[in-house]
Amino acid sequence: MTVRLAHIGIAVRSIVDARVFYEEVLGLEVKKIEEIASEGVRVALLPFPGGEIELLEALDPETPVGRFLAKHGEGLHHVSFDVPDVRKAILAGIEHGVETVGEAPRRGAEGREIAFFHPLFTHGVLVEVAGPRNDAPASQPQEQN
Ligand code: CO
């Protein structure tokens, strides 16, 4: 299984405030800001060679990122890896007693299938796995043509 860093998710109180550091100091650029209503977040993506910074702003205090901010303040929220097959990763997790958080798989930014592994089972880091970019509806059988 080929795995690459997809992004580093950072919980911030305000994307407007937080982007200044990444843009003005690190020289990155916000390529996209997207609201993911189902996750209760606004996301800003700042790509760099080999990965992206994903700034996460809660749309409401009663969301996973809102609760994270209330409990921990701003900071590293999750690390995301590109995997060829999210479902396969979930199954490998199950095999090793590694539990996911929330619905798995589900739809994340850019129409990608994602899943989160709970930090209790990953040595303290919320780990996201993200499948290939896909704006089409959920997985279709491959022998369809
Ligand atoms: Co993410």
pLDDT of residue 2 exceeding 60: yes
CATH of 4-130, one of 3.30.70.2190, 3.90.180.10, 3.10.180.10, 3.20.10.10: 3.10.180.10
Instruction: For residue 19, report the distance from its CA to the centre of ligand 1, in Å.
Output: 16
113-141 pLDDT, tens digit each: 999 999 999 999 999 999 998 755 544 44
pTM of the model: 0.85
DSSP conformation class of 100: B
Give the start-to-end residue ranges of the domains of the chain. Answer: 4-130
Q: What is the pLDDT of residues 91-114, one digit of tens each?
A: 999 999 999 999 999 987 778 899
Q: Each residue of 8-19: pLDDT tens digit?
A: 999 999 999 999
- Name 41's Cβ contacts closer than 8 Å, sequence gap at least 6: 35, 56, 57, 58, 59, 63, 64, 65
Tokens read off for 27: 């020289």
CA of 128 to the centre of ligand 1 (A): 6
Average pLDDT over residues 37-62: 95
- Choose among 57, 51, 78: nearest CA to 69: 57
Distance 106 CA to ligand 1 centre (A): 12
pLDDT of residue 136: 54
Check residue 137 and give its pLDDT. 53
Protein residues with C-beta less than 5 angstroms from the ion ligand 1: 9, 80, 128
- 24 CA distance to ligand 1 middle (Å): 23
